[in-house]
Structure 1
Amino acid sequence: MDKHAIEVRGLTKRFGRRTAVEGVSFVVPTGAVVGLLGPNGAGKSTTLRSIVGLQAPTSGESLVDGVPFDELDDPASHVGVHMDGFGFEGGITARRHLEICRIATGAERARVDAVLEEVGLAGEGDRRVRTFSTGMAQRLGLAAALIGSPQTLILDEPANGLDPDGIRWLRRFLRAFATRGGTVLVSSHQLGELEQIVDQVVVIKRRVLFTGPLEDLVGGGGESLESRYFDLVEGATA
C-alpha cells in the first residue's frame, strides 16, 4: 500500500446551518505536490484548518502520517503550515519572529538563519516585520513553516502578493522540496502556475469534484488545468 502524508476521510464541517464542506475525502501521497482548488467559499481553508487541528470537524477525520494531528509527536517535524490568519507582530524583527517559532517547536538555533537563507530573506532578518511588503511577509510565513524541518508543507495561497520573479522562485522551491522527498499540499487560485508544479489535483466545491493525477484531469487532448477546472466548478451545484 502506498504511504500517504495526509489522508482526509469523509470530512464534514458545519457552522450552524451552513455546511462548509461535506464528505470530503482525498489523499496526499508522500513526495507529491498536490493542488487544492476551488472557488472562494468552496471550503479549501476549512479543509486545511481541519487537517492541522485548528478546528474540529463535525464528522470525518484527517490524518497526518497516519495519525490525527493532535496525536503527533513533535508535530513541527511532520508538517509546516502557512495560511491566512497566521499573522505577525509588526513591531518585532523577522529574526525575532522566527526565534519565537523556533523556541515553540524546539528547533535548533541554527534553523533561524537557515530558513531566512532558504526563503531569500538572509539580508532582511533584522528588519521589523511592519516594513515588509506583502511578498516578503509571504516568504517570512514560509520560513516559519520550515523552522521545524517538516516533511510536509501545507500552504494556503502562498503566492499572494508575490511579483513574477517571486512566483517563479516559489514554483522552483516547492518542486525542489518535493524532489528531495518532501510533500506539499497547496491551495491557490493561480491555476497556470500550479499546472507547472503539481502532480495531483483536488477540486472541491463543498464536495470533492475531482481527485487524482493532473494528467487524468487534463487528459491528452491539450486542455489546460484552467479549462478543466471551470468545467468542473461551473457544472457543480453549490
Structure 2
Amino acid sequence: MDDDAIEVRGLTKRFGHRVAVEDLSFVVPRGSIVGLLGPNGAGKSTTLRAIVGLLAPTSGECLIDGTALSALDNPAAHVGVHMDGFGFEAGISARRHLEISRLAAGAPRARVDEVLEEVGLTADARRRVKTFSTGMVQRLGLAAALVGSPHTLILDEPANGLDPDGIRWLRRFLGGFAERGGTVLVSSHQLAELEQVVDEVVIIKQRALFAGRLGDLVTSDVDSLESRYFDLVEGASA
C-alpha cells in the first residue's frame, strides 16, 4: 500500500458549459488530516463527490488506496463518507438507521453500539431522527461513516450545527482518529477551527490555489490560515 490514502489526478468536471473543477490534482497522505477549502461554488462538493464515485469526471481520476472506489472489494472498510445531501429517514430511530448502514457495510452487529458510543449518541439511540438537533444529525452522519471501520473519512462541513462543545469534541475526535493511523479529508468553512487540527490544506477555486503542508502556507506568527486563505482566493479573483 502506498503512502497516499487519496489521490486526485487532473480532475476536471464540466456541467454543460460550466466548469466546476479544472485540472485539479492533490494527494491526502495516509495518517493525516487534510482540509479542503474554497469559497462557495469553488468545486469542493464536486471534488468530494467525484472521489466517492457519485460523479463521473469529465477527465482525470480519483483513487482511494490506489484504486477507484467502484473497484474496491469492500468500499466501507476503506472509506467512510458523510456529506451534505446524505439524508436520513426522519421517522426511524438513530439505531435503526445505523443498523441499515451496518448491513450495507457488511459490519458486525456489535458495531452499532460501538459507533453510537464513539459519537456520544448512546443515550439517544432510540429517538427518532426527526427529533434530533442539527448537531446530533451531524454526529449520526459521522457514526454512519464509521460503521464499516474505515481507514479514511471524507467529511463535508461536519461542524455545521455544532455548538462550541461539539466543535471541540469533533476536533478531538478527528485528532484521535489520525493518531490511530486513520486519514481524514474534511471540507469546512471554519478556518480558525480547522487550523488547529489539519496537517495539510488544499485551497481551490476551480483549480488548486495551494496544496501542501499547513506549515508551508502559514509561515509566521502574524500569519493565519484565514489570512493566507483570503490572500489566495482574492488574488485568484483579480
**Shared fold, TM over 0.5:** yes
How many pairs are equivalent? 238
CA distance in 2, matches of 1:235, 1:222: 19
TM-score normalized with structure 2 length: 0.98
1:1-238 superposed matches below 5 A? 3-237=3-237
**4+ residue segments displaced more than 4 Å:** none
1:19 maps to a residue whose letter is: V
Contact 1:2 1:29 in 2 (8 A): no
1:171 maps to a residue whose letter is: R
Contact 1:37 1:44 in 2 (8 A): yes
Q: Which 5+ residue runs of structure 1 have no aligned equivalent?
A: none
CA distance in 2, matches of 1:12, 1:53: 14
Shift of residue 210, structure 1, vs aligned partner: 0.1
Shift of residue 222, structure 1, vs aligned partner: 2.8
Counting aligned pairs with the same residue, the percent is 77
Please give the secondary structure, in 2, of the residue aligned with 1:169: helix
CA distance in 2, matches of 1:42, 1:170: 25
Tell me: CA distance 1:46–1:100, structure 2 relative to 1, closer, same or farther (3 Å). Answer: same
1:155-182: CA deviation from partner (whole Å, max 9, x where unpaired)? 0000000000000000000000000000
1:67-96: CA deviation from partner (whole Å, max 9, x where unpaired)? 001001100000000000000000000000
CA distance in 2, matches of 1:93, 1:107: 19
TM-score normalized with structure 1 length: 0.98
Shift of residue 237, structure 1, vs aligned partner: 3.5
CA distance in 1, matches of 2:2, 2:37: 23
1:176 maps to a residue whose letter is: G
CA distance in 1, matches of 2:98, 2:2: 35
CA distance in 2, matches of 1:185, 1:50: 13
1:50 maps to a residue whose letter is: A
Shift of residue 2, structure 1, vs aligned partner: 5.8
Please give the secondary structure, in 1, of the residue aligned with 2:50: helix
1:180-226: CA deviation from partner (whole Å, max 9, x where unpaired)? 00000000000000000000000000000000000000113430000
Q: Which 5+ residue runs of structure 2 have no aligned equivalent?
A: none
Contact 2:2 2:65 in 1 (8 A): no
Contact 2:94 2:126 in 1 (8 A): yes
Shift of residue 138, structure 1, vs aligned partner: 0.2
